[in-house]
Each structure stands twice: as structure tokens, then as C-alpha cells.
Amino acid sequence: MAAHTLSRRTLRMLGCVAALWTAQFVWMPLCAAQPQRCSTLTGLTLPPRTIALPNNGVTIDSATLIPESASGNEAGDYCRITGSIKALKNGTPDIRFDLNLPSRWNGRALQLGGGGYNGVVVSGVGTMPFSPEHAPLAEGYATFGDDSGHVGNAGLAVFGLINEAVINFGYAHLKKTRDAAIALITRAYGRAPDKIYFAGGSTGGREGYTVMQRFPDDYDGVIADSPALNFTGVRLIGIKLGQAEYVNPGGFVPPTLLDRVYQRSLAVCDKLDGAADGIVSDVPACRKREAEVLSALRCAPAARGPANPAASSTLDSTIAQAQHDDKCLTDSQLATLMILRDGLKLPYRLAWDVSGYPGYNIFAGTRMTGGLGLGHDATRLAMPTFNANGYLFSQGEGYLRYFVAQDASYNALGFDVQQPGRYQQQLVDLSQTIGAMNPDLARYIARGGKLITLQGLADEVISPDQTIAYHDALVGRYGRERVDSFMRLYMVPGYQHGSGVFVPSVDLLGALDNWVTRGVAPETLVATDIAGPTNGRTRPLCRYPLFPRYTGKGDMNRASSFICAEP
Ligand SMILES: [Ca+2]
């Protein structure tokens, strides 16, 4: 058995070396995903010691060569591996992962993050999110991703009842899958990758910051977009928002009125950046015009009820009708929106001294009527849905129900966010397990790791100010020069949480790779809009805190007509 293993290994090594001598850049296919070698991986097991965190070993469930000629395959020949990392305890789901090994390997590996509560294996096949012209596998990356250790669609938080699954979701799945994948890559190609990158958005963005904070030696570059860094904070503000809408009488803000708020902010702020293009690009200037935005939206004093019940009986019919038609904001509705604007402040501390959650640009170009905005239903469902009761509340409710109270019948409307009593310690513990607010990136910076973060200024799920605050705290901690040496932050006007009036398509992976391998730090990039109605227009992707300002000359659909301006 030993002799057989040795001879196969020797043959493989000789094959690699011989091919390497022949031609430097074509040796990989001979070392790697040949048809016979790929399929022989099926059923392989790797011992627990393969992975630096506790586990029960790794099983390769399938390994299939996908030929270049396969329908829809634009990645050339590649070996597609599906595997499972076995859980420690009965009842904890395994972590399922996919790994793709291209025959034309570029020597690098890319781990891809998930979204929402995960629960679906990230396949690593196809294009990068919001970069439809770039497919990492086709570009030669060995790609991999996982389901973070539970099965279920992205809105389900039921796995919060299982402690090992919560730890996997928080951070452990990232390291476990990384170690298993790198072991398999090393086995298949005969050497470890030159560079290992991570890329993700939203939950995947949190995962990107998590790997830099927890496993800084394992990654050379990270793309972490719209990151849910303060995971517990965004869940708590969601609960607070739901309470404002569904407990506070009259607090629900219907979509028609939310659209009025958005349209009004456009009317006041769109042109502040020089271009009437439907994008509020100068957000700081727009914030200064908030009173002007609001003055046209608020109901006349007598119609603002129910703060003054006596007045409500004297409403004249015109005012009552305006309120009834959702044409103006009552005080109760405004109070709901002010939670979005102001964020959440807590009298206690979550992990890493976090004391709340920043607000959103609700009166400065952020649309709350889409699929991830506030709800469409004036009453709370027993099991809230994104559409009926809003994304933030629904996700917060699931978090409270399954992660915090661990009681499937728990009603989030009765939860005291400010004084959570016996649940406070659990919130603190969870924010440590799942959050990525640790500001200590010293080791990652010192070893030359790079980071690119792209974040929408109109994000309705992740507070843009959360991401800015984390960046600014790094500057405070390490100094601007040091932060500039490893991080790029691009704040994108008009971009929400995956949708918006401007949805940027840009090759961030190319920019990151260029930075890591050639030392070319990205500066102003150019993003192409992939939003349906405005598809194809371009804008400069400006480094924070700059924003794209129209020069007043030239085609408004071209980036070259804009400069990156100081706010
Ligand atoms: Ca504009």
C-alpha cells in the first residue's frame, strides 16, 4: 500500500517537473485536473488534522471533470469537487463545500462568501457578483465556497438553535473550508497556491473582514463589499424599526409615502453634484438640506396626530384626506424614519466596545420601497416576511427568535432593545461570535494583506456610515498612510444593497490581484452601471471620501465627464 502510494506520488511529481522543464506556463494541466485524476478523488477522505479547527474529517462526495465542451461552460476543463466537513456533534449539520480546479490554473485560489443567513453552497462557478464580464474560474482561479454549515434559504435563522452551527456561521466555516480546499488544491496541483483571496458581499463582506481579523496569515487579499460588520447591531435596529411600525400607533410608513420621501430627496439633492442624473452623489451636501426635504413632506400640524387627540377631532376634511391618502408624514411615521436616519444607541456595550448602529441616508437618496426596504403590510405577520414586514425587521426577528431567545414562538415586538435583561449577555456573546467589528488588523497589515471595500451610499440594509466608521477608526488607530497602504474604500452613490439607480460593475478582483502581485495600488476606478434603465453609463469609482461630480461639460453618461471631488 505504501509502495503504491509512493509510486503514484513519485509519478505525479515527475510528471510535474518534466512538464515544468518543457514549458513554464503549461505545466499545471499536467499536474492537475486530468480526467482520470479528477474522478479518482471521489470518496477520498481527509483526516481532521487537515483543518486547524476542531472537526471530524473531510469527505469528498463527488469529483467530476467538466469538459470545456460542456453546455454553458466557459471556464475550460475543470475538476468540480463537492465535499463535506464533518461536524463534531450529532445533530449539527456538516459544512458542505464546492471546489473547482481549472486545468488552466493561474496559481491562485479564491474563496467566495455567502449572503444573508447563508445555507446554500456557494458554487464558485460563474461570474463575480456585479462583475458580469469576469468569471474567476475562467480566469484560472481555483474557486471554492460553502454553505457555512446549515441548509436553508438565506432568510432562515432556525440553525441559531444549534451552538456549533452558530459558531460555524460566525467564523469557523471560513477557516475549515479554506484549510480543506487548500489541502485539496495542493494535492491536485502538486503545490500550494501562490496567493489566496477572499471575496464576498453583505454577509460575505462580513466574512471578508472576519478572515482578516481571525485568520490574518491565511489570506493575501480580500474584497469585502457592503459588509455586515456589526451583525448584531443591524439586527437590533431591525427590531426597533419593526416596533416603531407595528407597536407605535400610526408608525407604519406605506410604500407610497416612502416613495414620496425618496422623490423629494431627489428633487432637492440630485443636482447638488452638478448632474441631474437621478443619483444623489453629494450625500453630505444633501444631508444639510434635510429640513428642505422634510418641510414638504410633513403633515400640517393639526394632521400630525395622534400626539394631540383633541386636535384630531378638529381636523378639517382636507387635512384628514391628505393623511388618509398617505400624502404627508405624521409624527409617528416620521419617528419611524428617524430611527433609520439616526440609527441605534445602546446603554450597554456589545463586543469590541460597540454601542449601537449608525443610521442610513434615508433623506438623502435612499429608496426604502424595494425588496429589501420597509414592509408593504400595515400589520405584522406571525412569521414576518421581507415583503410584508420589511427586510430589516424580518431578519432581526429571526435573529432574536432563534439566536437570542432560542424560542421559536418568541415575539420580537415585546423585546426591550435598550434593556434586554437576561438576554443581554447572549447578545454580547453573539456579537463576538458573529460580528466583525474587531478593529485590530495589525497582523494582516504587517504581512502585506490588501483589502478593497465597495459600499453603496444608498444602501438600505447595511448602514453606509457603519462601513465609513470602521474605516475611519482604522485611520485613527493606524494613521492614514498605513491604512492607505492596505485598504481601499469606494463609496458608491445611488447604489443600494445590490440594486439601486446606479449598480456598479467593476473588476475588483483584477484590481486586487494587480495590487497584491504587482504592487499597483488601485486609485480611481471606472464603474459601469448595470441597473436596467441606465445600463452602460459609466462613472468614476472614487476613493472615499471623494464623490463623482459632473464637470458641466461632456456626455453625462461617461465617466470622463466627471471628477472625483471633495465633499
Ligand atoms: Ca446627481
Tell how far the Cα of 283 is from the centroid of ligand 1, in angstroms: 10
Confidence grade of residue 24 (pLDDT, cut at 50, 70, 90)? very low
Contact 351, 230 (CB under 8 A): no
This prediction has a pTM of 0.91
Reported as a single tens digit per residue, the pLDDT across 523-547 is 999 999 999 999 999 999 999 999 9
Tell how far the Cα of 295 is from the centroid of ligand 1, in angstroms: 21
> CA end-to-end span of the chain, whole Å?
69
Tell how far the Cα of 327 is from the centroid of ligand 1, in angstroms: 25
In this predicted structure, the answer to whether residue 48 has a pLDDT above a threshold of 90 is: yes
The predicted structure's pLDDT at residue 381:
94
Distance CA 280, CA 457 (A): 9
Tell how far the Cα of 477 is from the centroid of ligand 1, in angstroms: 34
Tell how far the Cα of 124 is from the centroid of ligand 1, in angstroms: 36
Distance CA 493, CA 481 (A): 25
- Report, as residue numbers or ranges, the catalytic residues: 202, 459, 497
Q: What percent of the chain has pLDDT over 90?
A: 84
The predicted structure's pLDDT at residue 7:
39
Confidence grade of residue 128 (pLDDT, cut at 50, 70, 90)? confident
Residue 59 φ/ψ, nearest 5 degrees? -120, 135
Tell how far the Cα of 269 is from the centroid of ligand 1, in angstroms: 7
DSSP string, 241-271: HHHHHHTSTT----HHHHHHHHHHHHHHHGG
Helix (H, G, I), strand (E, B) or coil at 104: coil
Average the pLDDT over 334-344 and give the result: 98
Which stretch of DSSP H or E encloses residue 102? strand 95-102
Provide the mean pLDDT of the chain.
91
Average the pLDDT over 396-419 and give the result: 95
Confidence grade of residue 301 (pLDDT, cut at 50, 70, 90)? confident
In this predicted structure, the answer to whether residue 515 has a pLDDT above a threshold of 70 is: yes
The predicted structure's pLDDT at residue 133:
84
